Amino acid sequence: MKAVLVLNCGSSSAKFAVITENNKETILSGLAERLGSEQALLTIKVSGEKIKQAIAHADHEQALLAIVEHLKTYTNFEIVAVGHRVVHGGEYFSASCLVDDEVLLGLQACSQLAPLHNPPNITGIKAAQKAYPDLPQVTVFDTAFHQTLPETSYLYALPYEYYQQYGVRRYGFHGTSYRYINQAIPQYNQGSPVAKVIVAHLGNGASICAIENGRSVATSMGLTPLDGLVQGTRCGQIDPAIVSFLAEKTGKTEAVITDELWKQSGLLGLSGLTNDCRELEEKASEGDANCQRALSVFSSRISETIGAYAAVMNGVDAIVFTGGIGENSDAIRAAVVSRLQYLGFDLDDEKNQHAVRGNDGDISQLNSKPVWVIPTDEEAMIAEDVFSLI
């Protein structure tokens, strides 16, 4: 059976999955973490079991070799290509592509836009080229789906030369997830596409996308994934003057404040407790005011952005919730949609409560426009791209 190895390399980790060509089934998945340290660990999940292997001091390349060695022990599939999740494709890449020298140069050029994310992605590609010198490598970009954004959506009102010289503009992320949802929508709509949809991808990273006639026309993440909604630990949209204001007040450098915007803000910052939505909901139901406040701000910004995107498209026909929170939190969905009645959306409480842990479908009342819960599958989308390119 032909299969694709899907790789997602972070600064000190590599997530992977093996997905088959025929039914897009994930037969095996895993994580190599704490790479570069003595505690480096490879965990492989297969047939409901977890296999752990210490790989002390392994870097990305060594971790990948350990993964490849492990994969060789299976006879029920054959890896025929590797698909790489790449965070930033800048304006160079508007679709997935086969890796060659030119693509690698383009990826390096995009690294200045995502200095934390793209270099480990490139490391992963080079490691995979060494481990599988005869196999095609494919890159799939988080930004690609949003390359259809109109100028009115992607330009920031900064001196225009900053866009021209440095590429400072909105790029948007979670594009692979939005593309998956976009192609899944007809299955939920009796086979027909939907003209104007707003998709909320709510996970630890959270963003929203307005999709008109299958194309992304507005999205909430920006030059980087920091912008837009309140997220697990990221602040989302704030007044940019806050950075220098806080630097002056606290005596911290702007770099330190910026780091806090990425890692100490969002649900974590507001609650002072955790970035984990499920835990926040538990504490909130026990009466914890900080957690209640964090969840209220989170859901309020989502409603606000949906309203804004309805304006961008001059209407909205359907809403989709996806991501760990979107697929599981009936409370967040109820709070968000309670403010969207003026747009024609009303939830059915029972259907909403039932749509958790993989239960998908329409959670709206009969007289409402549809609100779908659709589990996303970025890995399956990557595998599909790989098979169509090779």
Q: Using CB under 6 A, count the residues that bind ligand ADP.
A: 14
Of 137 and 143, nearer to ligand ADP (C-beta) is 143
CB of 247 to ligand ADP, least distance (A): 29
Among 2, 57, 130, 278, which residue interacts with ligand ADP (rule: CB under 6 A)? 278
Stretch that binds ligand ADP, among 3-11, 207-215, 244-252, 274-282 (CB under 6 A): 274-282
Least separation in angstroms between CB 87 and ligand ADP: 13
Q: Give 289 or 356: the residue with its C-beta nearer to ligand ADP.
A: 356
Tokens representing 128 are 């995979």
Q: Is 360 in the site for ligand ADP (CB under 6 A)?
A: no
Q: Does 276 bind ligand ADP (CB under 6 A)?
A: yes
Among 176, 328, 364, 368, binds ligand ADP (CB under 6 A): 328
Strand 2-9 versus strand 78-86 pairing type: parallel
Rounded distance, CA 11 to CA 124, Å?
10
How many helices (H) does the chain have, and how many strands (E)?
A: 15, 14
The reply to whether 203 sits near ligand ADP by the rule CB under 6 A is: yes
Residue type, 155: L
Span interacting with ligand ADP, options 17-25, 118-126, 320-328, 347-355, rule CB under 6 A:
320-328
Residue 290: what are its φ and ψ, rounded to 5°? Answer: -65, -40
Active site residue 142: yes
Active-site position among 142, 227, 362, 377: 142
Task: Give Cα separations from 146 to 176, 265, 289, 330 (angstroms).
Answer: 10, 26, 37, 28
Identify the burial level of 316 via C-beta atoms within 10 angstroms of its C-beta, where 0-12 means exposed, 13-18 middle and 19 or more buried: buried
* The only residue of 212, 281, 384, 385 in contact with ligand ADP, by rule CB under 6 A: 281
Minimum distance from residue 43 beta carbon to ligand ADP (Å): 16
Residue 284 in the binding site for ligand ADP (CB under 6 A): no
Residues contacting 102, CB < 8 A, separation 6+: none
Task: Report the distance separating Cα 157 and Cα 180, nearest Å.
Answer: 31
Q: Which two tokens stand for residue 115?
A: 């200095």
The interaxial angle of helices 254-263 and 241-250, nearest 10 deg, is 110
Nearer Cβ to ligand ADP (55/325): 325
| H or E segment and range at residue 280 | helix 277-285
Question: What single DSSP character describes residue 347?
Answer: B
301 or 369, CB closer to ligand ADP?
Answer: 301
- What does the binding site for ligand ADP look like in residue numbers (CB under 6 A)? 203-205, 232, 276-278, 281, 323-325, 328-329, 356
Q: Which residues are identified as catalytic?
A: 142
